[in-house]
Amino acid sequence: MKIMLLTAATGGGHIRAANAIEQYIRENTRWEVENVDCLKAVGRLLDKTVCDSYLFMAKKAPMLFGRLYKRTNKQNVISHLVPKLSGLFSNLLYPTIESSRPDVIITTHPFATEMVAALKSDRLVSAPLICIITDYGAHRAYIADEVDSYVVASDDMVPELMEFGVPKKKINPFGIPVHGVFFDRQDQGMLLRQLDLDPELPTLLFMAGSFGVSNIIKLYRDLAETNVKMQIIVITGRNQKLFEAFEKEIGQNPPIPTRLFYFTDEVEKYMHAADLLVTKPGGLTVSEALACNLPMAVFDAIPGQEEDNANFLKTHDMCVRIEKDGNFAKEISQLLQEKKHLQAMRENCAGFDKSQSMPNMLELINRLVPMEVEA
């Protein structure tokens, strides 16, 4: 069995999902797996244009991004234009697929889905196509008749896809794929002691890399001015400017017990140590937190897919939403004091159990291409 994963780097979530699938397949089967960035395979110019445009709009013009997201999610000229453009580039992706000759193609990005669907429509590709939707709301860009099976985040998305004309038998609410380490329970007290933090204090985890420096520093100061005892873990990712700003803010005597980290490949450790995650609601970050049974306070959601993710969490009482004009420090400090509500949110996260997402996906692959899974 040979599996081809096709993804793209417009945001890290699509890549993280593909990497999680690749690792699981390599560790649990003898199948071959190839992980390809479809935009890079098509050409550096297209990759740079698409990725830079996405980052610019998401950070500098989020309202415009949100309007485009909604417009392309309805039947209109724009929504029909996007698949046609992807179809034009599909011929540039074809040599990559043809040289690999995969038995199954798995996509974690709508552009990849559209390109493979176009090649299947032209009968240039015959391998079954599995599309992973990496957010908690459906979007028309993922939808194509040539997709053989969809893997979606939750049962809530089944009727959404059916409204787009996808047959129910094609929709599998397995959950967004995440690395298995997020499901591995760790002792919270032990983790906090390792960080030289107090196991008796409520712990906030700030996944702050994509926040604006002034915004997140103000939130930190506002929390420091409350009378609620807490401790904070801050991860800035590769945001050097934010890391340096926090270093300066914390200084020698931090107003709140704080542990500051730059980039880490052990995010799961800090999620398991925390009582509440403060984050932007990206699809993979949300899924990783849910796997850790970690409630969220979602902030600064980009209109579009992040809005969908935040609405899903709020509907199922797994997060609080902090609006831009809201009192962040007051809402967070109140939640930390409402221990029963915070525990109920954690139990709701635990009840959303998608730990079998990967095994279910292997079963799906075997149904589409019947071959024996070799242990």
pLDDT digit string, tens, across residues 186-230: 999 999 999 999 999 999 999 876 666 667 888 888 898 898 999
- What confidence category does residue 106 fall into, taking pLDDT thresholds of 50, 70 and 90? very high
Q: Report pTM.
A: 0.90
CB atoms within 10 A of CB 175: 22
Residue 56: the pLDDT is 57
- Give the span between the Cα atoms of 159 and 138, in whole angstroms: 10
Q: What is the DSSP letter of 180?
A: G
H or E segment at 61? none
The residue type of 131 is C
Classify 374 as helix, strand or coil.
Answer: coil
- What is the per-residue pLDDT across 313-335, written as a single tens digit (0 to 9) for each? 999 999 999 877 768 888 899 89
Which whole number is the average pLDDT over 137-143?
A: 89
H or E segment at 105? strand 104-107
- Give the span between the Cα atoms of 324 and 188, in whole angstroms: 31
Q: Which of 90-99, 212-221, 258-267, 356-365 has the lowest mean pLDDT?
A: 212-221
Q: What is the DSSP string of 322-360?
A: E-TTS-HHHHHHHHHH-HHHHHHHHHHHHHS--TTHHHH
- Give the span between the Cα atoms of 265 and 248, in whole angstroms: 24
pLDDT over 70 at 59, yes or no:
no
Please answer whether residues 102 and 125 qualify as being in contact, where contact means their C-beta atoms are separated by less than 8 angstroms. no
- Give the span between the Cα atoms of 36 and 324, in whole angstroms: 38
Q: What is the dihedral of CA 307, 264, 25, 115, to 10 degrees?
A: 50
Please answer whether residues 33 and 105 qualify as being in contact, where contact means their C-beta atoms are separated by less than 8 angstroms. no
Q: What is the DSSP string of 250-296?
A: H-SS-SS-EEEESS-S-HHHHHHH-SEEEE---HHHHHHHHHTT--E
Please state the separation of Cα 42 from the chain's center in Å.
24
What per-residue string of b and e applies to 252-270 under the rule 16 or more CB within 10 Å gives b? Answer: eebebbbbbbbeeeebbbb
Residue 81: the pLDDT is 57
- Which residue shows structure tokens 């609620």? 228
**More confident of the two residues 112 and 12:** 112
- Which residue shows structure tokens 């959950």? 175
Q: What is the DSSP string of 119-168?
A: HHHTTS--S-EEEE--SSS--GGG--TT--EEE-S-TTHHHHHHHTT--G
Classify 18 as helix, strand or coil.
Answer: helix
- Give the span between the Cα atoms of 322 and 331, in whole angstroms: 8
